[in-house]
Every structure is written in C-alpha cells, then in structure tokens.
Structure 1
Amino acid sequence: MKNVANLFPLPVTETAYSYADYMFLMQKVVLENRTTGPKQSEDLAFYTKLNLARMQRLNKKVEISEDLKAKVAQINIPQTWYILTEAWCGDAAQNIPVLVAAALPNPLINVKLLLRDENPELMDAYTTNGGRSIPKLISVDEDFNELFTWGPRPAGANELMLQYKANPVQTMKEFVEDIQRWYIADKAQSVQKELTEILEGVFAEK
C-alpha cells in the first residue's frame, strides 16, 4: 500500500467537487456553450452537452448489481474516491454516475471529482500507457494510503479504443458513435463487474 499524500496537497483537495457540484458545473458550461479545461471547440461543447444528458439519464436509471452492493456494504473504513475527469469525456459520462451510485449507500465513502487539466501532477501519476486517460478513480484512506484504482474505461470499451488507435480507419465521430453503442448494449454491467472484482481483491488482502 503506497502513501500518495504528496499528490493531494490542500489546493487539490480544496478544489475537489462533490458530485452535486460537478453536475452543476456541467449544466453551467453547457448553458455557456463551452466545456471544462483549457481546450475549447464547438465539438467539445457539443460532446459536453451530450454527456450532460447521458449523466442525467444514468443518475435516474442506473441499477447497481446485488454483488456490487454487497461488496460496497463491506467497506468498513472511511475513504475518499477521487475521480479525475473533464466534462467533454464520453467515458466519464458513462461511468461516473455508476461509480457514484455504487458508493452512495455507504456513508464511509466520500466521492470527490477533480478536473484533469487542473491537476496535472496527480494525473501524471496515474496515466494509462503513458496517456492522461480519464476517468480515473483513485481510492484513498484518511491518511492518503492508496486502496485501489480503476479506469479509464471497462475492458470491452478499452479494446475498441485500442483497435481504433492501431488502425484508425474510422473518423473520430464514427468511433465515438461505435463506443456509445457499446455502452448502450453493456448497460453499465462491465464497470460494475470490474469494480466488484477489485473490491473482492481488496478484502482478500485484509
């Protein structure tokens, strides 16, 4: 278990969003026809608008599996689930509402969201194959000992991403549509299965 307190100094923890505040931020940037982060474009603003609608739908309809509910209920130490994200990220929109819904029943879990581009040092400590891929979940205890991580996307969606990067015959728009169809068909089951397996491993070590 590694201590990552140096990656979470006060400026980081003080600028973390609750999920309610993050949803408010999403609504704000959509109303302003922009997104979060330094890079702004019509495409990113468009995807942010889509992501807000997806998250609002998932907030109402996502169903957490009984296996995941049971594992989350077993968590008996206070911890914070920090999630690195940006409003334009489609993978974040599909997975964050599920992670939040899973954590919600256990009062020992505090979910906080951090904008990737405002926290480069933290993001660079949790890259995926050298890239700043999001969302990235980092669970820490009260002393900032790392408990587990997850992200940036379920294995099935990640395989689509790897195929696209290896042979980008599609346009980015076509790829985004393909991965969206994958998420619709998956019905938030893969992220839940992966999180369940992670929590099983954490408890197996105790």
Structure 2
Amino acid sequence: MDFTGYQLYFQTVLNGEQTIHPYENPAYVNYTRLNWARQQRWFKVGELNNELAGLIKSIKSGQQWVVITEPWCGDAAHTLPFIHKLIQLNPFIRLDLQLRDTPPLLIEHYLTGPNQSRSIPKLIIRNDDGNDLLVWGPRPLACQQLYNRLRAEQAEDEETKLQLQNWYNHDKGKSFQQELLTALTIISRADADSTL
C-alpha cells in the first residue's frame, strides 16, 4: 500500500475498526495510539541529513522502497516518518508499505539474526529490475546494541520500551539517516563503477 493507505489503515486501528490479530488486544491498540503520536511528532520536528537528502535527490533511476511494518511497532514509528520525508525528494522513488502480520507475509524472506525473528521495521530498497540493493532494519545499530544488552540483562519489557524510547528521542533520526547514507553511498559508487 502507499503511504496514504497506510495512514488510513493506522486510523482504522485507532478507531477500533480492525479486529484482526493482534488488534483485538487493547494493549496493541494502545501501542498504536502512542506510535501515532510519535510518528506525528517526527513529521513536525524531524530534520533530514543534508548530505543524505542531496544523495537522494541525485538518484536518476527508478527505485522501490519497501517497508515491512505495523502500526503497533514502536521502532517503525521513529523511522517511517524519515523514510517518507526522504522519498518526497525524488519522483524516481516509489514507496510500498507491507504489513508484517497480513499476507503475503513478505517478512518471511527478511528474517533477522540467528534466531530468525520477524523483527520490524525492515526497509528493502530495490532497483527497477526488482533486485534488492539494500536491506536495513529493524533498528539503528546503537539502538540494537542497547536492545541486545537489555535482553541479556533480562530487563522488564516496560523498562526496555522506556530505554528504547529515550534513545530514539535523544537520537532524533540521526543514526538511521547516517546508516542509510553510508549504504546508499556504497550503492551509488557501485552503480557509477558499473557504467564505466
């Protein structure tokens, strides 16, 4: 679905119109409500990395950015607004949002880590031929390291959520954008080399 469709789906969850799993659980509806507010905040105050914005603007061939996500996902609420802002800079980039928990279950092809978890969000950048150029996610490296440490310490779920939220608030989207800039720079250099 496109970004507008995803926002409308988000609203159906908030309005209690979605009863498919896991939205029959009030806790997941509450997560969704929090994530709507987080997402709206980054739309208003999130700043783009100038170097990354310039690189995005310079892309001259079609790309499809696929994001596997769900409204209940806190990590997605801190990343998706920056992805949306970036794709607005270049008409060659198309965004497709896929729900993790609804068929066709694209997530099964992009599992994470040794445990093969269905962690989201996942950003997959494909060229016009449908080949994957980049797979990123579910969270920036420093945030993932924090998550791994908290899991190893067997921190309570609420404490883990609070610390991750604090990390995202402090980071302000900078780490995600820097990681994306590094990866896209490598891709653009490879493209340039292949045309020589």
- What is the alpha-carbon distance in structure 2 between the residues aligned to residue 120 and residue 150 of structure 1? 20
Maintained 8 Å contact 1:34/1:44: no
2:194 paired residue number: none
Q: Answer yes or no: is the 8 Å Cα contact 2:98–2:106 preserved in 1.
A: no
Partner SS state of residue 118, structure 1: coil
Q: Match for 2:128: what amino acid?
A: E
Q: Specify the alignment match of 2:151 in structure 1.
A: 165
Flag the 1:128–1:190 CA change in 2: closer, same or farther, 3 A.
same
Q: Which amino acid aligns with 2:139?
A: R
Tell me the alpha carbon deviations over residues 139-186 of structure 1, each in whole angstroms, 9 at most, x when there is no partner: 112221112111111011101111122221x22111101100000000
Match of 1:12 in 2: none
Q: Give 3-state SS (helix, strand or coil) of 1:175's partner.
A: helix
Q: Distance in 1 between matches of 2:89 and 2:47?
A: 13
CA deviation profile, 1:8-65 (whole Å, cap 9, x unmatched):
xxxxxxxxx1111111211221121867x62232221111100011111212221111
- Structure number with greater CO (CA < 8 Å, separation at least 6) is 1
Q: Is residue 55–residue 97 contact of structure 1 (8 Å, CA) maintained in 2?
A: yes
Structure 2: which 5+ runs fail to align? Answer: 192-196
Q: Work out whether 1:38 is the aligned partner of 2:21.
A: yes
1:90 aligns with 2:74: yes
> In structure 1, what is the equivalent of residue 8 of structure 2?
24
Residue identity in the other structure for 1:38: H
Q: State which of 176, 186, 205 in structure 1 corresponds to 2:161.
A: 176
Structure 1 stretches of 4+ moved >6 Å: none
Count of aligned positions: 188
Secondary structure at the aligned position of 1:117 is classed as coil
CA distance in 2, matches of 1:164, 1:41: 25
1:199 aligned onto 2:145 = no
SS at match of 2:101: helix
When the two chains are superposed, the root-mean-square deviation of aligned CA atoms in Å is 1.6
1:125 to 2:109 alignment:
yes
Q: TM-score, normalised on structure 2? A: 0.90
For residue 103 of structure 1, what is the aligned residue in structure 2? 87
Structure 1 unaligned residues grouped into runs of 5+: 1-16
Give the secondary structure class of the aligned counterpart of 1:139: strand
